[in-house]
Structure 1
Amino acid sequence: MKIHQLEVEDSFLITPEVFADRRGTFLEMFNQPAFREAIGHPLSVAQVNCSVSRRGTIRGVHATALPGQARYVACAQGAIVDIVVDIRVGSPTYGRHVAVQLSADNRHALYLAEGLAHGFAPLTEHATVVYLCSSNWSPGTEIQINPLDAELALPWPREHELLLSDKDRDAPSLRECAERGLLPAYADCKARYAELNDYALT
């Protein structure tokens, strides 16, 4: 299993080794020792979510207020583009995004640390996405950013009519979220990562 950091700091692409034979394939979707070595602390899984989406759907862009919710995302069926957005005020990569393709064929996974936002869209007629969450969903903590924010200019597929929830379609832009004080601070996120790393050493 290979884990390397993407262009947005504190987001990582996980590339597992896939073993294939005439019966099919086998792989490790998650390996705690490998994850801990790459990230600095283990992934504590509090909740596992699964969504099934049809082509044209955009889910996101979402994050969670600190202490936050880290996510480990994989596509079990079909294919998606998952877009990570750095919304941490003061970050060297603030406002930047990185898009990765996750699919049932490549078996890649994506990890994004607390404070980062992401959204995804199917590249196939249907896609099933499974993601491990470091904390449980808590009402009132979600940060929602409009996925069609013109300033972000995220590279969503445009071949089909876009399907968004009302909450996502009506969500504010990144600039508006910043003006309202809704975004996490880069320094606070880094302090949270250091806290997790220190706890892992005890």
Structure 2
Amino acid sequence: PAVRGGALPPAQLAMLSLLTLALFEVVGPLPEALAQWHATLGAGARVFELADTPPPFVEPRVGAAVPAAPDIAFQGVRLRYAEDAQWALEGIDLTLAAGARLAVVGASGAGKSSLLGALLKLYPVQAGRVLFGGEPLEALRGDDLRRRIAVIAQHPMLFNLSLWDNVLLAAPEAGADRIERAVHLAQLDG
């Protein structure tokens, strides 16, 4: 009636119909967004909680020089993740000569990841000590230490970047020759 009576031009009627459809596209995702809102708030609270948690290690301002070919020694190491938790590592004594390779195998929960986490300064040990080239881990900066250790995880992760950029994450100072050599050694250049 409004179009026939001249009160509403035909083009505006078509526009109103399309506007209604467009509004459904805009409003349609809102229920899903509201459903995710509480999960997002919980994740944000956890991020702030972690940001307020003191780090498990106090890094030295200037770390000791990390040896190029170090021996690794665990001496009476005990580690647990919480004060009331079971020991993840208990009384570990291990010496690994420079250049040696070690495969750590065992059932889930046996302490494989904990052993590696202690070596990489990801978790503090509650007793004993870990030496890297004769230096206690407390004397070394974590980033410097982790640059000297290669780990092949059961489920390796790559970031959604080029292979080149993934290598640069581990060694930001690497030049083209070094990156190409690493890619070749990993047999990823074929």
What is the TM-score with the length of structure 1 in the denominator?
0.22
Larger strand fraction of residues:
1
Q: Which one has more relative contact order, counting CA pairs under 8 Å at least 6 apart?
A: 1
Larger Cα-atom Rg: 2
